[in-house]
Chain A
Amino acid sequence: KAGVTQTPRYLIKTRGQQVTLSCSPISGHRSVSWYQQTPGQGLQFLFEYFSETQRNKGNFPGRFSGRQFSNSRSEMNVSTLELGDSALYLCASGLRGDRGSEQYFGPGTRLTVT
């Protein structure tokens, strides 16, 4: 069974631009979560989607948004990019999305904002 895939793997953008990251969960998984990973802050939860509905949201500004499609694929969008948005963005999928479910992580998208 294929793992979680994220595209693109690397991205370089300029301040003020917007970016869209994509995540394809493991087949059959209905929960998708997004995390921002930086050396200083570690992993910070962005949001979680389950069956196309946002169930949980972390403490990030409204410039960060996401959505989930009927096939469980998810996209994350960041508008008006800032230098501080440079990070590794990880996507994780889960079968049921309940609290005991293991999260399977993708390889991440490395975003660099210049």
Chain B
Amino acid sequence: AQTVTQSQPEMSVQEAETVTLSCTYDTSESDYYLFWYKQPPSRQMILVIRQEAYKQQNATENRFSVNFQKAAKSFSLKISDSQLGDAAMYFCAYTPWGQFYFGTGTSLTVIP
């Protein structure tokens, strides 16, 4: 079964601080992609960061970085220097092929 688990339904962080969102997945595939998507209150989902499973190096995109632990099937998102605009629902997603499997999301609140 392909499942994605986000164990933190809600998280909060002080502005300018760092927060880490957790994601684990279950798969028997050896090659796949992992994504973090952000869904602000306006509801348009946008890609935050992407990781290819066969790449050892963790992906980074400006203030966003991941900690990808393939053996542990863990894919956490670290947001550094949090900004008010980072407040949103964050979804972890996994795809071994064209179908995406999403976690249930983590709602991030940024406290001014």
Which of A63-71, A75-83, A97-105 interfaces with chain B? A97-105
Contact indicator B96/A99 (Cβ below 8 Å):
yes
- Contact between chains at A50 and B102 (CB < 8 Å): no
A99 engages B97 (CB within 8 Å): yes
Interface residues of B in 64-105 (CB under 8 A from A): 91, 95-105
B45/A105 in contact, CB under 8 A: yes
Q: Do A100 and B100 contact each other (CB < 8 Å), given the known contacts A105-B45, A108-B43?
A: no
Q: What is the chain A residue whose CB lies nearest that of B96?
A: A99
Check A99 against B95 for contact (C-beta < 8 Å): yes
Give the bracket for the number of chain A residues in contact with chain B. 20 to 34
Residue of A nearest to B6 (CB): A42
Interface size on B, residues (CB 8 A): 24
Residue pair A33, B100 in contact (C-beta under 8 Å): yes
Report whether A45 and B103 are in contact in the complex, using a CB–CB cutoff of 8 Å: no
Instruction: Please state if A56 and B52 are interface contacts (CB–CB under 8 Å).
Output: no
B16 interfacial contact with A, CB 8 Å: no
In the assembled complex, the Cα of A92 lies from the Cα of B39 at a distance in Å of: 13
**What are 13 residue pairs bridging A and B, where the CB atoms are less than 8 Å apart in the complex?**
A3-B44, A31-B98, A42-B91, A42-B104, A42-B105, A43-B91, A45-B99, A99-B95, A100-B52, A102-B35, A103-B100, A105-B37, A108-B43
